[in-house]
Chain A
Amino acid sequence: MSSVPTHARVVIIGAGIVGNSMAWHLANLGWRDIVLVEKGVLPNPGGSTGHASNFIFLTDHSKEMAAFTIDSAHQYRELGVYTETGGIEVARTPERMEELKRRMASSLSWGVEDARILTPAEVKAMVPFIDESVILGGFYTPGVGIVDSLQAGTLMRQKAQDLGALTIAAGVEVTGIDVEGGRVRRVRTDAGDIEAEVVVIACGVWSPRIARMAGASIPLTPAVHQMIDIGPVPMFEHTTGDVGFPIIRDMDTNMYERQHGTGFEIGSYAHRAILMDADDIPSIAASALSPTMLPFTKEDFDPQLEDSLALFPEIVGDEKAGVKLAINGLLSLTPDGNPIIGETPEVKNLWSAAAIWIKEAPGIAKCLAEWMTHGTPEIDPHGSDIARFYDHHKTAQHIAARTTEGYNKTYGIVHPMEQWASNRPIRLSPAYDRHVELGAEFFEAAGWERPFWYGTNESLLGEYGDRVMPRQAEWESRWWSPIINAEHLAMRDRAGLVDLSAFAIFDITGPGALAALEHLCVNKVDVAVGRTVYTPLLNTAGGILADLTIMRLADDHFRVVTGGGMGMRDRKIFQDALAADGSAQLFGLWGPLARDILGLAADGSADISHKGFPFLTSKTVDIDGVRTLASRISYVGELGWEIYVPIEQGLRVWDALWRAGRPHGMAPVGIGTYAVTSRLEKGYRAHGAELELDFDLVEAGMARPTLKDADFVGRAAYEKQRSHEPAAVLCTLTVDDPTSSTGVKRYMLGREPILTPDGQRIVDAKGRGSYVTSAGSGPSVGKHLLMTYLPPDQAKQGTKLAVEYFGERYPVTVAVAGSTPLFDPDNSRIRS
């Protein structure tokens, strides 16, 4: 057993690929007194790193995951541990061939180079042992490769040691983590205690157990991934080097196959989800192979062998090639499939680096190290931020349900709007029963059941005819209804009532509230009581962290309202500055008739005239005996209010608004209108789409003419950004002709590459490729709308460009460069 130092600047727990990468990147950014504690023996301590299949496919539909993966491949290459083999995702079905075209588009969007679609014969030419009659084609990426992850870890530890930054304590088990005053203080081990300023949990499948020692939660579950290794394969006897053929992902059967040396590895994501509890993983001593290489359960795997045999009859069907190794390997799964990284919301200076696979580990470690060092990671990690979880996400029941549902989608064709089916409903609006009666189609947001459209609004379809922009192709009709566009038009014509329960609302009160908010927000928060402020939040590098509204309810009372998805993450940003609390229920009422309807529903004591209740102000309005807070604001581009109600009185207010509005043609309006169509027509930006760390406010067209006097986070960077021309400008584009080569009208859904008319990628001066940040119908302008960042040369009204969608290019035109709305450019409707 090693001895351990008594003090450390940072203790990293776990020396798998993640812990080793963290040690190197922290050392590289100047950290010293790093202690890496590992229970097992090096270089292979017995976690998932030791049995991982180690291949890296670069393309992911998620921008964040693609960025982490591309950066990781780059780092592995620099370390000299990357063998470029190329990789092919093969299709057995026409649906999969379409999906491969979509993967081509994502490759273009995220800058994965030289990817292309192959015919079966072309696949055969690269992989001579495949039966090409089984497949319809393949998606080939030359940059795919295999990494030696154990060697990579060894090299990174060595580099950190060479800097004099790292002490390694192997064979040392963590027995506790002490927290004092909400901050991590020390790590207890069986070799002594280490006083630590910062602790990083990089314990893979054991992470939940280690986090629990500190009273924190890392909601992942260990799960089995089965793989077998057969050989020696006579055909591979003369392969030179370790890997001579591209890796195959047999997407439709959820399997992969790869040659290595004279062996052939077959892995599967097709079997049932086999979950474990972190506490039940056997110890190193009691393990037959390693704690994360559990006994193979062949009844789960054998059915898939037939699939593998069909694709590779010459290899898998060879009587002389034996099954040399077969394991149930443990890996980490999370309820939404993303990694879990960042400072834990429960404990200051306790960081999670968990649920990270080989393919993304060094990239994520670099991001985390930047985040820990100066708070400004280059790649925006918000989709992986540990702070994104609500409490219900952290329950064992939720984790089990969602990981079980998600496991078999590992290679699935997952629609961007696809909804989870398990463990619902969780959070219900007080008006939920009304929504059910109205035939709502519910989508989930932050656990809330939100009506995306209402079935009973089908009656509106006749009223609007083709203006609802009906869709012909199955793909973009999935998780969509023309009713969304009908609701949009009804709201623009008359009024719409929207349930906005999923918004995260928290109040910030006390004598320090104003100063703290002023410090966090770009725009001035020190406004008159009753005013509402819309403001971005930046990090110190001027990257866009969040955008939200703040209502000043009293001198020292502010209400923050932000999207549900990032609600907990945003809450942590404020919590780090001061204590926050609050709860309320929220409806929205918008449309030309909104004032009339609110007037009918309210008791008349509040002046709701344009003059008496100006835009961006809030005040108390009593509705049917309920004291509500109305806020005149709009994300849909219409006159109207957000109405805040105590949760238990929500149904009463919904019903009162309904009774007042229904005779005037007010429609219940779903989130399909609220979050997509109406905001796109207005050019309103959304966090996670247009607003991410890699863009700034000038580029997003959100820079205001003047700057407030008070200092705020990111001010210096923001001033610098304001002083020069932006490298890209956020634009709204219209699709000129959505007709495909087969005569079907096609409608993009977002994340597709924007190209020059002759199909070239558009890359700005900062190296960022142009892609569709948001897409959707614009029923009031009669066009399908796309938002994208473009370099200044292209960011001019009238520029003709193209968008790639399912392997075809469609002509598009820049309709607006900057933030001027396409619909109602003067904003007269909001200010009426």
Chain B
Amino acid sequence: MNILVCVKRVPATGGRIVLTPDGTDIDTRYLGFTVSPHEECAVEEAVRIVEGRGGSTTVLTLGPAAAEDQLRDAMAIGIERAILLETDGRDWDPVATARAIVEAIRAQESANGPFDLILFGNESADSGGFQVGIRVAAALGRPVVTGIKSLAPGEGSVVARREAAGGGWETFELPLPAVVSVKEGINLPRYPSVPGRLRARKKEIERSTPAWQSGGLDKVVLRLPATETTQAEVLGRGAEAAPAVVDLLTRIGVLGR
């Protein structure tokens, strides 16, 4: 089975996000970069499927040259090939991003044969548009499901499950080739091993530079939501605190009266 995973380089933010002085971006001077937890799971899922049934894995990203880091992270845990659609650092909206990825997929598939399964994370960790996977599937005319937390590929189809609103599971069977966006929790991603890291360092990355295009959505400014301040109250120290703790637990209904 040939699997493609699409990821996006995003800042690994701390507790409080700091914006650049002009308010158009996150201040990343002292931040590292990563991909969203959903995408980490998508990478892990691809590696596991191929470990189990054979096939090939490819990771693709649209981003600045430094996004090579995220491709190598994916290769460090077992993805075989990497494709970088290199941008000049400008923002690409979901429409333009999907368009560029579709073009790259078509080029790849005409050279190397089709991808049976294309995996996305459910949404990116920064802009959270929830769109790119769906748009890519629509453009390629392939079936798509989102929010998937269980994936069982079979011959010619894949069974995907997601949690239903209000409890229970929804189960889908998609004919291949298909597009699936997965959610954190589908698996527990492994840490890269040192030999994996060293192998990833030496691997080739296929690069191309799609021309920037507008999908019609322009970022004007970022605004931080007002932070909720919380207040902690010290109820006491040591054994002396016990009555106050009992009172509180009773008040909030943890202990019966």
Q: Given A302-B197, A318-B193, A319-B196, is A295 in contact with B30 using a C-beta cutoff of 8 Å?
A: yes
Which residues on A sit within 8 Å (CB–CB) of B195? Answer: 309, 316-319
Flag if A288 contacts B14 (CB, 8 Å): yes
Residue of B14, B32, B198 near A286 (CB, 8 A) is: B14
Chain B residue at minimal CB-CB distance from A284: B15
Closest Cβ of chain B to A739, distance in Å, is: 48
In Å, the complex CA distance between A305 and B194 comes to 7
Which residues on A sit within 8 Å (CB–CB) of B31? Answer: 288, 295
Flag if B16 contacts A286 (CB, 8 Å): yes
Chain A residue at minimal CB-CB distance from B29: A280
Flag if B14 contacts A282 (CB, 8 Å): yes
In Å, the complex CA distance between A285 and B16 comes to 5
Residue of B17, B29, B193, B198 near A302 (CB, 8 A) is: B198
Query: A295-339 vs B: 1/0 string, CB under 8 Å?
Result: 110100010011011000000111111111000000000000000
Instruction: Confirm or deny: A294 has a beta carbon within 8 angstroms of a beta carbon on chain B.
Output: yes
Instruction: Confirm or deny: A472 has a beta carbon within 8 angstroms of a beta carbon on chain B.
Output: no
Instruction: Confirm or deny: A419 has a beta carbon within 8 angstroms of a beta carbon on chain B.
Output: no
Which residues on A sit within 8 Å (CB–CB) of B18? Answer: 282, 286
In Å, the complex CA distance between A109 and B195 comes to 43
In Å, the complex CA distance between A317 and B192 comes to 11
Flag if A306 contacts B198 (CB, 8 Å): yes
Query: B185-208 vs A: 1/0 string, CB under 8 Å?
Result: 000001111111110010000000
In Å, the complex CA distance between A287 and B29 comes to 11
Which residues on A sit within 8 Å (CB–CB) of B12? Answer: 288, 295
Closest Cβ of chain A to B204, distance in Å, is: 17
Chain A residue at minimal CB-CB distance from B18: A286
Instruction: Confirm or deny: B13 has a beta carbon within 8 angstroms of a beta carbon on chain A.
Output: yes
Instruction: Confirm or deny: B25 has a beta carbon within 8 angstroms of a beta carbon on chain A.
Output: no
B13-28 contacts to A (CB < 8 Å):
13-18
Which residues on B sit within 8 Å (CB–CB) of A822? Answer: none
- For the complex, count residues of A whose C-beta is within 8 A of B: 29
In Å, the complex CA distance between A716 and B138 comes to 94
In Å, the complex CA distance between A34 and B31 comes to 37
Chain B residue at minimal CB-CB distance from A319: B193
Instruction: Confirm or deny: A62 has a beta carbon within 8 angstroms of a beta carbon on chain B.
Output: no
Query: B88-122 vs A: 1/0 string, CB under 8 Å?
Result: 00000000000000000000000000000000000
Q: Given A294-B30, A295-B30, is A321 in contact with B194 using a C-beta cutoff of 8 Å?
A: yes
Flag if B30 contacts A316 (CB, 8 Å): no
Chain B residue at minimal CB-CB distance from A327: B32
Closest Cβ of chain B to A172, distance in Å, is: 14
In Å, the complex CA distance between A573 and B45 comes to 69
Closest Cβ of chain A to B226, distance in Å, is: 14
In Å, the complex CA distance between A130 and B193 comes to 18
B130-147 contacts to A (CB < 8 Å):
none
Residue of A283, A285, A287, A309 near B194 (CB, 8 A) is: A309
- For the complex, count residues of B whose C-beta is within 8 A of A: 23
In Å, the complex CA distance between A224 and B26 comes to 23
Instruction: Confirm or deny: B69 has a beta carbon within 8 angstroms of a beta carbon on chain A.
Output: yes
Which residues on B sit within 8 Å (CB–CB) of A284? Answer: 15
Instruction: Confirm or deny: A26 has a beta carbon within 8 angstroms of a beta carbon on chain B.
Output: no
Flag if B193 contacts A320 (CB, 8 Å): yes
Closest Cβ of chain A to B29, distance in Å, is: 8
Closest Cβ of chain A to B21, distance in Å, is: 15
Residue of B190, B191, B197 near A305 (CB, 8 A) is: B197
Instruction: Confirm or deny: A772 has a beta carbon within 8 angstroms of a beta carbon on chain B.
Output: no
Residue among B14, B29, B69, B190 with most chain A CB within 10 A:
B14
Chain A residue at minimal CB-CB distance from B194: A316
Flag if A295 contacts B32 (CB, 8 Å): yes
Residue of A280, A287, A288, A322 near B192 (CB, 8 A) is: A322
Flag if A322 contacts B190 (CB, 8 Å): yes
Residue of A287, A306, A321 near B14 (CB, 8 A) is: A287
In Å, the complex CA distance between A323 and B196 comes to 10
Q: Given A287-B15, A288-B12, A306-B198, is A321 in contact with B32 using a C-beta cutoff of 8 Å?
A: no
Query: A214-240 vs B: 1/0 string, CB under 8 Å?
Result: 000000000000000010000000000
Which residues on B sit within 8 Å (CB–CB) of A323? Answer: 191-194, 197
In Å, the complex CA distance between A285 and B30 comes to 13
Residue of B14, B29, B192, B201 near A285 (CB, 8 A) is: B14
In Å, the complex CA distance between A288 and B17 comes to 10
Which residues on A sit within 8 Å (CB–CB) of B14? Answer: 282, 285-289
Chain B residue at minimal CB-CB distance from A231: B191
Flag if B191 contacts A322 (CB, 8 Å): yes
Closest Cβ of chain A to B217, distance in Å, is: 28
Flag if A305 contacts B198 (CB, 8 Å): yes
In Å, the complex CA distance between A196 and B193 comes to 52
Flag if A298 contacts B69 (CB, 8 Å): yes
In Å, the complex CA distance between A308 and B31 comes to 27
In Å, the complex CA distance between A305 and B30 comes to 24
Flag if B30 contacts A317 (CB, 8 Å): no
Closest Cβ of chain A to B20, distance in Å, is: 13
In Å, the complex CA distance between A286 and B13 comes to 8
B143-201 contacts to A (CB < 8 Å):
190-198, 201
Which residues on B sit within 8 Å (CB–CB) of A280? Answer: 29-30
Residue among A306, A309, A322 with most chain B CB within 10 A:
A322
Closest Cβ of chain A to B228, distance in Å, is: 13
Closest Cβ of chain A to B72, distance in Å, is: 8
Which residues on A sit within 8 Å (CB–CB) of B192? Answer: 322-323
In Å, the complex CA distance between A283 and B190 comes to 30
Which residues on A sit within 8 Å (CB–CB) of B33? Answer: 295
Question: Which 8 residue pairs across A and B have the least CB separation, nearest first?
Answer: A322-B191, A295-B32, A285-B16, A288-B14, A287-B14, A282-B30, A316-B194, A319-B193
* 10 sample A-B contacts, Cβ–Cβ < 8 Å, listed by A number: A230-B191, A230-B194, A285-B15, A285-B16, A286-B15, A289-B14, A295-B33, A302-B198, A305-B194, A319-B193
Task: Please list the residues of chain B having a beta carbon within 8 angstroms of any beta carbon in chain A.
Answer: 12-18, 29-33, 69, 190-198, 201
- 16 further A-B contacts with Cβ under 8 Å, apart from A294-B30, A309-B198, A323-B194, are A230-B191, A230-B194, A282-B30, A285-B14, A286-B17, A288-B31, A295-B30, A295-B32, A302-B197, A302-B198, A306-B198, A316-B195, A317-B194, A318-B193, A319-B196, A321-B194
